[in-house]
Amino acid sequence: MQVRLLIALGSGALPAAVALAQSQPAGAPPSRDPAAITRAQAQAMEKLKFMNGEWRGPAVTQTAQGPRRVMQAERIGPMLGGTIKVIEGRGFVDGRNVGFNAFGVVSYDVFRQAYEFRTYAQGYAGTFPFEATPNGYVWSTPAAGGKVRYTATITADSWNEVGDLVVEGQPPVRIFEMNLKRIGDSDWPEAGALTSG
């Protein structure tokens, strides 16, 4: 953003700056002041603070070879002054071997007024729409012929998440479910953060 702004100002100064200001989305912060932007991001991320902590419980994924069961562990916490939320998930097979490992970042774009979810798992990465709901969230990822829609319902001590394969013209098919219990607070990822230069 700063590089594009500097190029615009260097090659047309006032007209470019006016055009940039006029292109600002409706409902966006009144300025591009980083302090105002980060305050708005942190405020939006407060809606997801119920996710923070460590969680454990069974999860099952329906595969072509049959159900694949793991003991799922999730740890979630804020970074960058609460403007993003980081998530690590590990699925343990036989109680000790990691059969699934994923990492994600939830963020909020104040100019689009929308959340997004950046995920990394099984050699793939992608950025997907993410909707905060009153008691959880919904997000989806493309799948063959449709999409997989994940819906989470979270209370103070429980987290249920289901994944449904949704293909137009067909009823949804449940392909994933996990039921986690809250183990407690977590100081991750802030523990061990840099404190001096």
Q: Is residue 135 part of a domain?
A: yes
d(CA 101, CA 79): 20
pLDDT at residue 52, rounded to an integer: 96
Q: Are 43 and 78 in contact (CB under 8 A)?
A: no
Whether 191 is in a domain gets the answer: no
Domain that holds residue 53: 45-184
Strand pairing report for 53-63 and 97-109 = unpaired
H or E segment and range at residue 158: strand 158-166
Count of domains forming the chain? 1
Letter string b/e over residues 115-146, b meaning 16 or more CB atoms within 10 A of that residue's CB? bebebeeeeeeeebebebeeebbebbbeeeeb
- Does 106 fall in a domain? yes
Strands (E), 64-157: 66-79, 84-93, 97-109, 114-121, 124-133, 136-143, 146-154
For residue 111, give every residue at least 6 positions away whose Cβ sits within 8 Å of its Cβ, in sequence order, or none: 24, 25, 28, 29
Do the domain assignments include residue 69?
yes
Cα separation of 13 and 134, whole Å?
Answer: 45
- Distance (Å, whole) CA 22 – CA 33: 16
Q: Is residue 6 part of a domain?
A: no
Structure tokens, 149 = 């829609």
Domain membership flag for residue 19 = no
The answer as to whether 190 is a domain residue is: no
Residue 146's DSSP bridge partners are 143
pLDDT at 4: 32
Local confidence pLDDT in tens for the 197 residues of the chain: 333 322 232 333 333 333 333 444 445 455 689 999 999 999 999 999 999 999 999 999 999 999 999 999 999 999 999 999 999 999 999 878 999 999 999 999 999 999 999 999 999 999 999 999 999 999 999 998 899 999 999 999 999 999 999 999 999 999 999 999 999 999 999 887 888 77
Task: Provide the CATH number for the domain around residue 73.
Answer: 2.40.128.20
DSSP 41-65: HHHHHGGGGGG-EEEEEEEEEEETT
**pTM, 2 dp:** 0.81
Residue 94 lies in a domain: yes
